[in-house]
Structure 1
Amino acid sequence: MTMLTETENPITRQFPEPVAWDALTLSRAIHAREISCREVMAAYLAHIEASNPAVNAIVSMRDGDELLREADARDRQLGQGESMGWLHGIPQAIKDLSATAGHRTTMGSPLFADNVPSSDSIMVERIRGEGAIIIGRTNVPEFGLGSHTYNPVFGATRNAYDPSRSAGGSSGGAAAALAMRLLPVADGSDMMGSLRNPAAYNNVYGLRPSFGRVPFGPTPETFGQQLATEGPMARTVADLARMLATQAGPDPRAPLSINDDPAVFAGSLDQDLKGVRIGWLGDWQGYLPMEEGILPLCERALGTFRDLGCEVDDVVPDFDPARLWQCWLTLRHWGVAGLLEALHADPAKRAQLKPEAIWEVEGGLALSGLDVHRANVIRSAWYATLQRLFERYDFLALPTAQVFPFPVEEAWPTRIADRQMDTYHRWMEVVVPGSLSGCPVISVPAGFGASGLPMGIQIIGPHQADLAVLRLARGYERAASAELARTPNLGA
């Protein structure tokens, strides 16, 4: 059964136009002068005022009159035959981790509650360059640490499908905003599933690109930070790919960026998927504890790939997943310590860091250079294992999360099934294989569990095969059950 588009889906009629439209539809309407940038902005501002309080997805909203004046300026440009790009006049809220000139960038920390950068990050610079109007920020956990979006500056972001539940993180604000139609498309970033977990929790798409695909920075850690990457989130794969085309492409300020033309992502995603081979990791033969209902839901969704002619087989990597976890702990400690060590060294500032941040920094400070080297050797061995797997399979797949969205008041799940979680992020161990690979990983909606809560499937492709991953996701989107087009209940 073919998935209905947003404009075809009768359920979306609860959302007013044009906020019910996907980003590309909105862009075409603006450029055809079927709707003005002012009308778009006014509609979004009214919808955000009415619906954002239920989820607390967008924070640091700018003054509405100022935004309408910027929309008027975009309309004048169109009247003169000028367009800045496909995002011309489209409202955009940047994830509150990315430096945005002239706009408060708090990173969810009271230490940066009044921080206003003087320049944009590379990604934000590119989004602005395409004509987007920055309306505010999307909420994050403190410093992006943890897959649950809450912080002492703005509070918690709630799940679009059940406001009593977590929206995931760290791009939780972005995902909830997309699901609630507060934004047509969004940006995010991903170290430990931050573009994937919230996408699954809010029934949208999130892509962690190949490392280097989206240039990160410029920051003092340009070479040192090799765990996280920025990327797109969207309600449709076409929007996701178009946003990647904006974010991607080489930049001399990021010397590890991939030197490919990003325009390829703005082209056709249609492809015959017959014969595509997918290896299903599942719960890694019981190593990864899963909440009841997740595996059957994901395995049912895998049937859609089979309907497309894909071959889906169970596979167990020839690699000890416990080694991956220890490698991850070391490299994450090292990376976070590099970012936050100066704050930790000041007792007054350390007192304002959340315990998880302190734990990460202190773990990093206890490491030796040899410890980091050994972890990177394990990471390299894992990449070699993946290369061998990709000789047999075109893609690998596994669930996006190990639990369904949990109560928003909980800091993190402390137990899955009969297993105690020993760290604040152990419950998201399922994303570590993708994060450590440097390969492109997309989360696609898998459907809804018995409780009505969403879940997703991760699809991992070979390094730099981002377009192939997007094409597989597009085929899945077109063939998947119309149930995946289910929208949040605004009356919830």
Structure 2
Amino acid sequence: MNLSQTTARDLLNAIKSGRISARELMQLTLDRIAAVNGSANAIVALRDPDELMAEARALDEGGIQGPLHGLPIAVKDLINVAGVVSSQGSPIFRNHVPEKDDLIAARMRAAGAILIGKTNTPEFGLGSHTFNPVYGATRNAYDPTRSCGGSSGGAAVALATGMVALADGSDMMGSLRNPAAWNNVYGFRPSWGRVPSEPLGDGFLHQLSTLGPMARSPEDLGLLLDVISGPDPRQPHGCSDAAVSPVEAVSLQGLRIGWLKDWGGAFPFEDGILGLCRDALTVLERLGADIIPVTPPFEAERMWESWVTLRAWSVAASLASLSGHRDALKETAQWELDRGMSLTAMQVHDASVVRSEWFRRAAQLFREYDALILPSAQVWPFEIETPYPTAIAGTQMDTYHRWMQVVVPVSLIGLPCLSVPVGFGARGLPMGMQLFGSRGSDARILSMGAAYHAATGWPQKRPA
């Protein structure tokens, strides 16, 4: 069985029908990890193989227990998993072994998944390049000299190399979208509030980051999204938890899809990215969609200033308890902490007013368009030794994360967004584009993605 080509749905159906046991699948998974993870460095804190095999045998003997019964999953290393080192990529937590699962891990375990270890992430998830002082760098699945993106980089590479069939991730500033694009898989940022966060600290104010699924098809995304979705009574926000599975391709005939391109020149791109996205748009046109160029609907710089304020405020809130360990934090974490701690209440309020204005303008757009499209990244995967790009096509970047500005229109207002693969550039490196819709349109976006996937099947292809 080729694990890099087999869908999670097919694996789960094979277990359910008895064509393969959870034990056999676990052995195949461990063999695959042994074969490729040494160079990829995507899965970290892998549990003892004998323990994993025993857990798989117990599931075989106990009958089907849930929708993910017997499926091995490695959890992103920003999430606590009971009995497994959960470091967040920081030397501060290098030896931290939680006694209980975080909410998302508990939901996957209750659904029958076997949590085999962790997927690598940048320190505290900051930056779209997966490296940290605890485990080192995760290498791109298509070129080991290049970054795999981040912060869900380990998850994307584990999927692309066939070490897992489903993966969880999180997304504040493209962390489910950028690594999916750079590793030729799908990443889905759900509507904000659909997947609850861990019920710790403030539950009312911060509305930027969300958890979500990654997979090699939209259909598989739906399987995991249904498991991790749903309200948590300890948290005040939430949106519809109606099931999205089974995700089935919807007809695109007559749908109006807006192409935002480079936001009127506000977002610089490296050569070849916009061209690949335009090629992908022709696929949607062949499927019957009307692709309509959209002029910039909101001032990009106002959106950016709102974003960097609200992000710094949120990140500083999460890191405030570690301010006494400031010297142990990486430079970008220190930058976010210092910036966030210096903000006034009115600066945060003004930033949220701009966010609200953009949300209202987007609501108008979605009365005109069924979905909107932007590229998933502004640069190709860069050299693995580079911390972050400092310029794009001659335009200097003024922060460590400005090079990912293209994801901000979605992240700022919590829209559902699917990063779909669009093929390979001249160097054989993958790229993707963002297909997004109105808040709550998760099922619709996934179904549109399923139609695109049926016509392209990019994750099952390799560069020429």
TM-score (ref. length: structure 1): 0.92
> Aligned-pair distance for 1:268?
4.4
> Aligned-pair distance for 1:236?
0.9
Matched, 1:300 2:279: yes
| Structure 2 match to 1:5 | none
Aligned equivalents of 2:458 and 2:435: distance in 1?
20
Aligned equivalents of 1:205 and 1:414: distance in 2?
27
Contact 1:217 1:253 in 2 (8 A): no
Contact 1:317 1:389 in 2 (8 A): no
| Structure 2 match to 1:164 | 145
Q: Is there any run of 5+ residues in structure 2 with no aligned partner, and where? A: none
Which of residues 197, 200, 206 in structure 2 aligns to 1:216? Answer: 197
Aligned equivalents of 1:420 and 1:270: distance in 2?
41
4+ runs deviating over 4 angstroms: none
Which of residues 402, 413, 417 in structure 1 aligns to 2:393? Answer: 417
Correspondence list, 1:337-356, <5 A: 337-344=316-323, 346=324, 349-356=325-332
Aligned equivalents of 1:92 and 1:221: distance in 2?
29
1:415-466 CA-to-partner distances (Å, cap 9, x unmatched) read 1101111111110000000001211011000111111100001011000000
Contact 1:71 1:89 in 2 (8 A): yes
Aligned equivalents of 1:483 and 1:260: distance in 2?
29
Contact 1:179 1:487 in 2 (8 A): no
- Secondary structure of residue in 1 paired with 2:248: coil
Contact 2:208 2:413 in 1 (8 A): no
Contact 1:147 1:169 in 2 (8 A): yes
Which of residues 16, 21, 32 in structure 2 aligns to 1:47? Answer: 32
Contact 1:179 1:488 in 2 (8 A): no
Matching residue's letter, 1:56: N
Aligned equivalents of 2:3 and 2:396: distance in 1?
46
Contact 2:184 2:458 in 1 (8 A): no
Aligned equivalents of 1:161 and 1:172: distance in 2?
13
Matched, 1:255 2:240: no
| Structure 1 match to 2:262 | 283
- Secondary structure of residue in 1 paired with 2:328: coil
**How has the CA–CA distance of structure 1 residues 88 and 483 changed in structure 2, closer, same or farther, with 3 Å as cutoff?**
closer
Aligned equivalents of 1:361 and 1:483: distance in 2?
39
1:310-354 CA-to-partner distances (Å, cap 9, x unmatched) read 01011023311000110011001100110111212x1xx111100
Contact 2:69 2:111 in 1 (8 A): yes
Aligned equivalents of 1:214 and 1:313: distance in 2?
32
Matched, 1:22 2:7: yes
Contact 2:428 2:463 in 1 (8 A): no
| Structure 2 match to 1:388 | 364
**How has the CA–CA distance of structure 1 residues 257 and 121 changed in structure 2, closer, same or farther, with 3 Å as cutoff?**
farther
> Aligned-pair distance for 1:226?
1.1
Q: Is there any run of 5+ residues in structure 1 with no aligned partner, and where? A: 1-15
Contact 1:149 1:167 in 2 (8 A): yes
Which of residues 295, 313, 333 in structure 1 aligns to 2:292? Answer: 313
Matching residue's letter, 2:365: L
> Aligned-pair distance for 1:99?
1.7
Matching residue's letter, 2:360: A
> Aligned-pair distance for 1:484?
5.1
Matched, 1:465 2:446: no
Correspondence list, 1:366-385, <5 A: 366-385=342-361
Matching residue's letter, 2:311: R
Contact 2:424 2:463 in 1 (8 A): no
Matching residue's letter, 1:486: K
- Secondary structure of residue in 2 paired with 1:445: strand
| Structure 2 match to 1:123 | 104
